[in-house]
Structure 1
Amino acid sequence: MPVRSLPPPNKRRKTAVESTSVKSLEAQLTSAVAENGSLNPLADLLIMANGSSDAREMSKAVYSVYRVFVLIITRGMLIHGGDDAAKLVRKWIWEKLDSYVELLVGLLQDEEPSLRKSSLEILFSLLKHLSTSLTKSSSAAQPQFHFAHFKHIVHGLLLCPPSPRSYGSSKHHSKTMPDVRENFVEVWFSVYDDIRWCFLREATTVLSKYSSAENPHLLDNMLSIMEKLSTFPTDSSELNSWWVEELGIKPQKYKNVKGDAEDDAAELVDENDEDDWRKFFDEDSNAKDVKKNGVKGRAYTLTFHQSLYSLQAHRAVFTRTWLNFLPHLSSITTSSDRALTTRALNIMHRGVLPHLTRPVLVMDWISACVDLGETVGLLALNALFILMRDYNLDYPSFFTRLYGFLHRDVLHLKHRARFFRLTELFLSSTHLPATLLASFVKRLSRLSLNAPPAAIIMIVPFTYNILKRHPALMVMIHNDSGTDGDPFIADEPNPNSTNALDSSLWELHSHIHHYDPAVSTIVRIFSEAFTKPGYSMEDFLDHTYGTLIETEVRRKIKKEPALAMELRKDLFPTGDATNSDDCLVGRDVVSELWVFG
């Protein structure tokens, strides 16, 4: 029996009735708002929106409720004031609005993409309308941002409650839908300065209130948003885009005074008194990076509106978010979840450190990551190197820790290319002592004895570049002082005490007889004059067994190899003809050997 492409007639009739009811209820509510009539049909409309199983009908109901609430908000029906009856009505409307927002937040995880997209857009549209209404009703002489509504949006993006249409499925919170995350980042988070500032502030609150054990995807959801932030302002003049239009009015100049207006503003920033954390993450108002176009003053003394125009305040809330987020990654021990630490370290040098109020604040966390080793430890060393080079961090044991990464496994793991790329950067300074560099060169030379051909091809140009940059190491090429044995102390963890400079690179010389022609050819560079300017390491970092074999297969033979073979007639004797010269006449002995059975 063929499958029906259309729903049964009774279902079609039911859907048509529901659609008519939605339109009828919306019309009744529109008239009621205009004439101050009864809003009781709003409860019926919400029931229909929550109870619909069909995505199309739910979308119609959701948009109908949205249009009704926009009318209610713009008419000022949620503004404080009035008699007791008006307060009861206003409380009832807020309950219905909260129920509607809860529905929209759940739909961010719905299986229907159109519902997810429309729900996010409606949530942000309501944020704009609610903030405008709050500004009009507030006694404070500054624009307002509706944090209570924005909290629901942040919870939906980070905690991801299930969709109300997910009947029978898992009710556990999950990962943010990729299209929802991309839409949020591209349309709001990376564009509007007020949305970015408020999200960073509220995300920190979520981290402090909700356990990552009970919400296993919380850290992943947050990092997936944070790592895509590539438009963080670097100048006060870049603070010029606002989702809540009222915030586009520049605030009054900074005044360090206390009064009712300032108290109200502080309450808007945080109900729990955030002055302490803002003091800790604050910058000096006389810092060189405070531009004349921005709001000056210590960030913890600024009102919410002034904070949005202050580059110091943006950096302060950014710093607070990351310093609260990173310790949560330290408690992760599973290999699958440790990937979050790797992702955080991947963006640390370009997306985090330049925007922190004091980059050295993450030094302890990065140092702890070095102890994890492998890819995590290597990336942590990169972050430490950036702190040392650009932010004057004093970390004397850096090269000792780097030397500890030179073990047998590093030449066999998949992050081998990344190791050589970063190590070349770390050792690029011409002011490093020769004894230190000799230890690195010698250790790599020793490890090459058991390394795959692709790794040796990386080691040779790496060593050549260091010798070229530091002529004091040239003695290691033809050093014969170790006639009684190699003076190199392989087990010494301190690279300044290995006696490597008194040793030689005999291990690399032995590869002249390597079975792989690519290795034996490139290693001969040490027996020639050092006239090359240096190798580009990027040309050697992607070699594998596959690329080496492919190179040999595609190699053009310029000259045919010489071949000489003398066929012995008595090589395959048979029967009585073992000594006969005619035993091979008329027979293909080789072909017969390959005939089985």
Structure 2
Amino acid sequence: MPAPVESSKKRKSVKNGGAPSKRRAVAEEDTFAETLSKIQELENQITESRKHYNNIATLISMLNVEPSAKEPELAVAVSLCRVFSRLIAAGNLTESNRAAENEKIIVAWLKERCLEYQRALMAIMREADPTSQITALTLAMRLVKERITHIPGADNNIWATLFKDIVTAVVEANNGQDLQTEFVSKFVKEFEDVRFFTFVQLAEYADVRRSPETLDTLVSILSSCDDAPAADHEFESFFVPRETKTKQLNSVNAHKKRAQEAWLAILRNNLSQAQRKNLLRIMVHNIEPWFSRPELLMDFLTDSYNVGGATSLLALSGLFYLIQEKNLDYPQFYTKLYSLLDADLLHSKHRSRFFRLLNTFLASTHLPATLVASFLKRLSRLALNAPPSAIVVIVPFMYNIFKDHPTCTFMMHRTIRDKDVAADVEKHGMDDPFDNNESNPTRTNAIESSLWEIETLQSHYHPNVAAIARIISEQFTKQAYNLEDFLDHTYQGMVESDLGTGERVLRKTPVVEYQIPKRIFTDRLLEEDGGVDSGPAAFLREFWDF
């Protein structure tokens, strides 16, 4: 019976398959230990004698970054960093004018090998796995420190060459989120000289048109930096120890100027609509504090304000800051602000932010009553089609505005003194003098109108909305409402407040119909007297065939 025997052999082979794996693991450990021993031997020989300098080329070839940097030998990279750090500290990479020709040749050869090693580190940072990327970053920054510390006059040159390559590799790294986080947290935030030259290099890098993905990385790095230093800030934390303090690195204005240049380069670049919105969200807290001349943001903010929609809403706070603090002249500000009051506003996720700013914009008692009345009337008109969570913001907001602008309060109640006109209005009604299509808020005739829309909302299907709408019809005994108590309401939250806390006790049975009809699709005359089909339901019956 050969088949079962063969099957048994196969099962035995599978069962005992773990033995070769153990042997393979032991072999790999032995190979790794042998490699480490060889690396250490080559490194020790370089330290002992100059005649073993060729070992540097051997170690570089062992880095495994020629075809690809995805699987580098990190042990070799660390060993080479130690080698070059010793050589730099000993002055072996510094060329003197009095040195012999063969000495100059050796120094030039060492410099070339050092550049080759630096290029390998940059390749690892761009292409390797996150752990290797972070290791390469640490080694590269170690070289920056050693070269600036031990090579006279190399300060500006190293920041402009090696450090520039590091920043470029960090920005362009594949799957480099961990690398960028490490760079910001361990170097940019910790050391003020690193932050200063990071601003310098990012400004230069962003001066060229970049892809949207690259711009996202630049914004992420810049916005992750610490807050702008105060005017009396003392600069003490430096990556490279300094015996003499340079003027630039110890100047608050110099740091802010470099950050300002970096942000401006990004704002002038190839920004998508989503990126523009993101920048506007962080404008006040992350960008403007770094600007020693905030007026340079004027073009970006005014262009964003003129786009319309959510972009304009997000640009409001930054633009108002320039108007208030820097005396920016924007004569059509309130006209543009009035144009933002459209049907989409009350459904926007930026609604709360807009009402906070609008409350600030309309707080001045020097604004003309015609302008304020237009905003009140437009909001009340929009409230007719607004979600309940927006209506509960509009009514307290209007209450506060009426308190600040008492000349508009007669919009809540108008008495027609002419008896003939009053009789005609009662019989035929009247047209609303408010011009909803007028773009200029001073010409809408809103001051001649009334807030009948709010009275309509007093019959709203949602009881909370109906209750809050009634405050306009009551005496204004309250000084003001805290708008923050109403801004973050959502429709879901309003429903849960009614249904999520147990059974609600009803004071009275809710009314389903005001008048219960006896018939729906037939008129009494038509049904009982056989009259002509011309009653009120005739139009409705045209849609069905009975």
Give the CA deviation at 1:249.
Answer: 2.5
Distance 1:560 1:204, change over 3 A: closer
User: Is 1:226 aligned with 2:193?
Assistant: no
Give the CA deviation at 1:391.
Answer: 1.5
Distance 1:368 1:474, change over 3 A: same
2:274 is matched with which residue: 297, 321, 339? 339
Distance 1:373 1:9, change over 3 A: farther
Amino acid at match of 1:315: K
Give the CA deviation at 1:558.
Answer: 4.1
Contact 2:196 2:258 in 1 (8 A): yes
Contact 2:206 2:265 in 1 (8 A): yes
Match of residue 264 from structure 2? 323
1:536-583 Cα deviation digits (max 9, x unpaired): 22222222221122122146534564599xxxxxxxxxxxxxxxxxxx
Match of residue 536 from structure 2? none
Give the CA deviation at 1:451.
Answer: 1.2
3-state DSSP of counterpart to 2:94: coil
Contact 1:26 1:64 in 2 (8 A): yes
1:73-115 Cα deviation digits (max 9, x unpaired): 1111111223333333333323332332233233335564432
User: Is 1:61 aligned with 2:57?
Assistant: no
Match of residue 150 from structure 1? 163
C-alpha separation in 1, matches of 2:433 and 2:344? 24
Contact 2:347 2:386 in 1 (8 A): yes
Give the CA deviation at 1:519.
Answer: 0.7
Match of residue 327 from structure 2? 392
Amino acid at match of 1:157: V
Match of residue 195 from structure 1? 194
3-state DSSP of counterpart to 2:181: helix
3-state DSSP of counterpart to 2:466: helix
Distance 1:534 1:110, change over 3 A: farther
1:74 is matched with which residue: 89, 102, 106? 89
User: Is 1:506 aligned with 2:520?
Assistant: no
Contact 1:442 1:505 in 2 (8 A): yes
C-alpha separation in 2, matches of 1:563 and 1:156? 68
| TM-score with structure 2 setting the length | 0.81
Give the CA deviation at 1:505.
Answer: 0.8
Give the CA deviation at 1:187.
Answer: 2.0
Amino acid at match of 1:309: N
3-state DSSP of counterpart to 1:496: coil
C-alpha separation in 1, matches of 2:157 and 2:108? 21
Contact 1:453 1:519 in 2 (8 A): yes
Match of residue 254 from structure 2? 313
Match of residue 557 from structure 1? 504
Give the CA deviation at 1:9.
Answer: 4.2
Give the CA deviation at 1:416.
Answer: 2.1
User: Is 1:490 aligned with 2:431?
Assistant: no
Amino acid at match of 2:124: L
Distance 1:211 1:85, change over 3 A: farther
C-alpha separation in 1, matches of 2:480 and 2:334? 23
Amino acid at match of 1:77: N
C-alpha separation in 2, matches of 1:314 and 1:438? 47
Contact 2:313 2:350 in 1 (8 A): no
Match of residue 294 from structure 1? none
User: Is 1:518 aligned with 2:464?
Assistant: yes
1:143-192 Cα deviation digits (max 9, x unpaired): 985432101111112222x5xxxxxxxxxxxx6x2322222222221232
Contact 2:295 2:322 in 1 (8 A): yes
C-alpha separation in 2, matches of 1:426 and 1:404? 14
Match of residue 295 from structure 2? 360
1:34-78 Cα deviation digits (max 9, x unpaired): 432231122221222225999998222221222112112111111
Give the CA deviation at 1:379.
Answer: 1.5
Give matches, 1:538-577, under 5 Å: 538-554=484-500, 557-558=504-505, 561=508
Amino acid at match of 1:184: F
C-alpha separation in 2, matches of 1:99 and 1:8? 38
Match of residue 244 from structure 1? 240
Match of residue 269 from structure 1? none
3-state DSSP of counterpart to 1:495: coil
Note the residue ranges of structure 2 that are not aligned, 5 or more in a row: 1-13, 417-421, 512-546
Which deviates further from its counterpart, 488-497 or 430-439?
430-439
Distance 1:320 1:29, change over 3 A: same
Distance 1:94 1:375, change over 3 A: farther
Match of residue 479 from structure 1? 414
C-alpha separation in 1, matches of 2:63 and 2:362? 63
Question: How many residues are aligned here?
Answer: 482
Give the CA deviation at 1:322.
Answer: 1.8
Which deviates further from its counterpart, 192-201 or 547-556?
547-556
C-alpha separation in 1, matches of 2:439 and 2:166? 52
Q: Quick check: which has more Rg, 1 or 2?
A: 2
Question: Aligned residues: percent identity?
Answer: 34
Match of residue 17 from structure 1? 31
Give the CA deviation at 1:326.
Answer: 0.5
C-alpha separation in 2, matches of 1:547 and 1:6? 62
3-state DSSP of counterpart to 1:238: coil
Distance 1:103 1:507, change over 3 A: same
Give the CA deviation at 1:438.
Answer: 1.1
3-state DSSP of counterpart to 2:478: coil
Distance 1:114 1:425, change over 3 A: same
C-alpha separation in 2, matches of 1:80 and 1:430? 74
**RMSD, aligned α-carbons:** 2.9
2:108 is matched with which residue: 77, 88, 91? 91
3-state DSSP of counterpart to 2:437: coil
Distance 1:187 1:530, change over 3 A: same
C-alpha separation in 1, matches of 2:409 and 2:19? 80
